[in-house]
Structure 1
């Protein structure tokens, strides 16, 4: 269908309770996100048993309570120049100014759009889904003048879409979904007979103090630039055409992919690789090899697989699960010729992904941090080339646990942020049990070729269409 008009009918600012002003310095992992787009993720729901106006008020009240614990979300980025003894500017640091400036909730209406229009089976993600997310041109650097978090509640003909737009310099996806789930718990409690008090008391408080390599409190990281604006590379408009599809992999399909890779490795004599295989490796192998075929990559062209990895459990000592900041790196396989990748098969590619993941340990993470500071790059996740691919997000994020009081979401979707040819974002499958939804972004000609790939479609499971009852 044609992109429908989405009309914003109200805008509200939500602030946390007053508290002492605080500055939280951003460090390597946070600063590397300044050039990237805001996170844009959202959830599609059946209609609540009350009006949209009451729904927005309900979410607003619960969000104010959540911000009492997650107060940095309501702040702004602050840039500070640093000078030497002569007064010469030698660098700039960035922090979160936690002064309670506030977040925003927008109420919008999408006339004539139904749930079935948002999640049509076996076709591209409709372009109009992007209009459910505000701040669609913002990069994280803009957080010094824009809110770090904006919500758009869009009323549909028979449902509602709640779109979250979140500054990625503030935290990674793990912390982001922890925050959204905390907000949802408070919202559910507010609709219960006993009300909201205590909804967060039994939960571990988020840890805002940034990690440092020496184990102490992180000091402001001074970048060797007087003005970071010179480093911010915004996408050139208009963006090249893209197509997006959601591919569903059931738990059974993923297990079959893993077993096929395991058998191939055993035949090849790689017992260790076979023993350590995961379903993530098997799915990554499938997509990597199918992308190379879809792009008709030249046989001698080197190709690389990238994936984002959570550093929390990989560090020694490990970071708490409730660390609220960025703690991710991109891990990469060794470059391999396209012809070799395809000839060696599914099991070999899965093992190559596994080697890259296993190698990402404490020493490797610390080496990346040490190498970044002297020559900072603010485009860590724009590392694509026409022959690469990147898997980001995670099926471990509890997206479908975000019940705001009227039932489980029907689907999870994203906006146009941080998308390019070769990008894959992972979501948990709605039915759970280890199923995965993969959002695949490719150039139109590459997507058309992918749709003809028999190996891919033998593994993709039929769409699981949600019911309105959740």
Structure 2
């Protein structure tokens, strides 16, 4: 049982710029709700630590720098939005519970955890009244803390949210922000170039087309299987297991090194390929079932000129891999799926991205591009990489978080790949699948790493099936 102690609207400590900020097309296509979410868990702190006051005071300070987050969305034509910078503030709840951290297990965002630790918010109210950041801090009876941060995805992407929290923590410790930590809110470099008809014609529109459907399904809503029961799993790969996966991804079936574009596959490419492959195995679809993987690519370094690392907006681009047969994903070596991911990533050049944004600008209504609550579902997966985000730097004065869990997942086939713990090289995979497939996925997931040493007949069967 959670008891709400206080509910405050925290405003910037000092006067901030007023007026309107235009949003880029990459902002406009994001879900309306607070879908960028991080759960920070901290070891027990001393009882006399005034943690709530520290969080509240430092939040008012960081909002001076992140002043657009203290504003509100306003509708403009074509179901688009802009930010009204009006310093109305962000929502902060302080809560307590007689439960201990251990009572919540791995903190998988089940219905019970969402009911207790996730801030309740009434989305039936007008969107123009929604705070763009909502936060809940909960103290457990054991002294541990849970800090849950949810931001409007229209305003900030995951990297921008993690940077906001780290800067907030730095101010809470009494330190000053460096020059490169001051957020950049100007979206000018991501606005349409003014010749949408010319640039948009070069764009193949793959990111916005209907993904592969289940064989025999012609209606997308049927293919999404939105009524199927789903379950969530949190799986941790050790540093050694991650290294083994990367080694497998960088070898072909003969054991020779395979380097796509002359570079070894990254941790993300190897682990995402493994997730895609295990999902195909667990689902046991027809061998000729098309499947694809969706991901969100950080494009800050892909634009010309590059966006600075402190850009506080959406600099992520939705991309699909080429559709493949499930049989090919399963029976080919891991390098096959890794290479499909690499090929999609390599398509994201400055020209491609800008032609896509110009295509979005030609649309009278961008609402159809938003994927608010939509499930990609079987036969596809959607794998988000968070490995390079500084989430473990969120030390508010009582130590680094022991674990940071991204989001809560509502969509079948959605997964996050994040760091498992600070500095130990482990990887955390948070995944939601249809309940009837989840145990099979878990079973196949780890034997794929150590199948050679396993004597389990099921693992040996998988070895024969997947040619590992």
Give TM-score, length-normalised by structure 2: 0.81
How far does residue 77 in structure 1 lie from its aligned partner after superposition? 0.6
Describe the superposition over 1:421-453 as per-residue Cα deviations: whole angstroms up to 9, x where unpaired. Answer: 111112212142442211111111110221321
Distance 2:450 2:380 in 1: 22
**Partners of 2:392 and 2:401 within 8 A in 1:** yes
Tell me which residue corresponds to 1:157.
141
Relative to 1, partners in 2 of residues 1:276 and 1:394: Cα closer, same or farther, differing over 3 Å?
A: same
SS at match of 1:453: helix
Tell me which residue corresponds to 2:185.
208
1:31 aligns with 2:28: yes
Picking from 359, 362, 369, the partner of 2:347 is 359
Picking from 25, 49, 52, the partner of 2:46 is 49
Describe the superposition over 1:305-360 as per-residue Cα deviations: whole angstroms up to 9, x where unpaired. Answer: 11110011001111111111101112221101111221222121111111111221
Relative to 1, partners in 2 of residues 1:168 and 1:393: Cα closer, same or farther, differing over 3 Å?
A: farther
Describe the superposition over 1:404-435 as per-residue Cα deviations: whole angstroms up to 9, x where unpaired. Answer: 1111112222453x521111112212142442
Tell me which residue corresponds to 2:158.
173
| Equivalent residues, number | 414
Distance 2:320 2:60 in 1: 40
Tell me which residue corresponds to 1:390.
382
Distance 1:180 1:200 in 2: 12
Picking from 176, 183, 187, the partner of 2:168 is 183
1:253 aligns with 2:241: yes
Distance 1:248 1:395 in 2: 13
1:95 aligns with 2:72: no
Describe the superposition over 1:189-239 as per-residue Cα deviations: whole angstroms up to 9, x where unpaired. Answer: 2xxxxxx5xx1255442111104457989xxxxxxxxxxxxxxxxxx9x97
Tell me which residue corresponds to 1:116.
102
In structure 1, stretches of 5+ residues that fail to align are: 82-90, 190-195, 218-235, 461-470
1:60 aligns with 2:56: yes
Distance 2:314 2:181 in 1: 18
1:241 aligns with 2:229: yes
Map 1:52-451; keep pairs closer than 5 Å: 54-80=50-76, 91=78, 93-111=80-98, 113-120=99-106, 126-130=110-114, 131-135=116-120, 138=123, 143-158=127-142, 159-189=144-174, 199-212=176-189, 240-264=228-252, 270-272=258-260, 275-375=263-363, 376=366, 377-380=368-371, 382=374, 384-416=376-408, 418-451=409-442
**Partners of 1:242 and 1:444 within 8 A in 2:** yes
Describe the superposition over 1:25-82 as per-residue Cα deviations: whole angstroms up to 9, x where unpaired. Answer: 1121111014455322111112322457x3111100011111111111111111245x
How far does residue 20 in structure 1 lie from its aligned partner after superposition? 3.7
Distance 2:123 2:311 in 1: 25
Distance 2:240 2:257 in 1: 26
Tell me which residue corresponds to 1:15.
11
**Partners of 1:395 and 1:429 within 8 A in 2:** no
Tell me which residue corresponds to 1:226.
none
Distance 1:432 1:68 in 2: 31
Give TM-score, length-normalised by structure 1: 0.81
Distance 2:445 2:5 in 1: 46
SS at match of 1:44: strand
**Partners of 1:35 and 1:378 within 8 A in 2:** no
Distance 1:420 1:92 in 2: 24
In structure 2, stretches of 5+ residues that fail to align are: 195-223, 452-468
Distance 1:99 1:283 in 2: 43
Q: Let me know the Cα RMSD of the aligned residues.
A: 2.8
Relative to 1, partners in 2 of residues 1:96 and 1:420: Cα closer, same or farther, differing over 3 Å?
A: same
Distance 1:35 1:265 in 2: 45
